[in-house]
Amino acid sequence: MLKGIINYSHYLMKEAVQEGDTVIDATCGNGHDTVFLSRLVGTEGHVFGFDIQAEAIANTRKLLTHIGLTNTTLINDSHSNFLHHMPVDKLTRLGGAIFNLGYLPGSDKSVITRSETTILAIEGIVSHLKQNGIIVLVVYHGHEGGDKEREELMRYVRLLDQHQYHVLYYGFINQKNDPPFILAIQKRH
């Protein structure tokens, strides 16, 4: 059975990330990926979650507290500033990062991820990933501004050196209404 997009994004993270790793949720939103990542890395690991909207950080914090997960640091700032917020000892065990691009469901549709900051964050994160570490991007692109981010992101990932990174595209090409797809970047060495 083919996995759906969210399911497959989690599967990819599960395959690459180990217990005790540090991971990044680059777009917390309502916190569903943050919860998934927190469980994945376990009590010895740590999740750094970013969102530019205070509302998203508050929603995520509420969910984590409700479930009782404590191995997480939430940061109300752009993912492109991740280096300012992560201690060096945590960065040395960076197993992966997940991005859900687009806008916060049920909120202001004009606050969207943008290619400039998304690509800056990816560039920084790949350079710190450990061997076989992975960045998974779930690319929602049906909203206003989504086309531009998709095109610029595709141009960027196509040019990543194949000797250093595997770049995967996964999506359902017969679905209507701009279905989301996955881009995954795995560091080879």
- The 3-class SS string of 98-153 reads EEECCECCCCCCCCECCHHHHHHHHHHHHHHCCCCCEEEEEECCCCCCHHHHHHHH
Residue 85 interacts with ligand SAM (CB under 6 A)?
Answer: no
Span from 14-22, 78-86, 129-137, 172-180 in contact with ligand SAM (CB under 6 A): 78-86
At residue 110's C-alpha, the angle toward residues 63 and 30, to 5°, is 10
Span from 62-70, 74-82, 155-163, 181-189 in contact with ligand SAM (CB under 6 A): 74-82
Residues paired with 112 in a beta bridge: 103
Helix H or strand E encompassing 21: none
Least spacing, CB of residue 167 vs ligand SAM, in Å: 21
Least spacing, CB of residue 24 vs ligand SAM, in Å: 10
Residue 149 interacts with ligand SAM (CB under 6 A)?
Answer: no
Residue 21 interacts with ligand SAM (CB under 6 A)?
Answer: no
Q: What x/- string results for residues 160 through 189 when contact with ligand SAM is judged by CB under 6 A?
A: ------------------------------
Structure tokens at 136: 């998974």
What is the spatial distance between Cα 161 and Cα 178, in angstroms, rounded to a whole number?
28
Span from 13-21, 22-30, 40-48, 166-174 in contact with ligand SAM (CB under 6 A): 22-30
Short-list 126, 60, 138, 62, CA closest to 96: 126
Do 167 and 185 contact (CB within 8 A), yes or no? yes
Residue 117 interacts with ligand SAM (CB under 6 A)?
Answer: yes
Q: Which residues would be at the binding site for ligand SAM (CB under 6 A)?
A: 26-27, 29-30, 32-33, 50-53, 56, 78-80, 100, 102-104, 111, 113, 117, 140
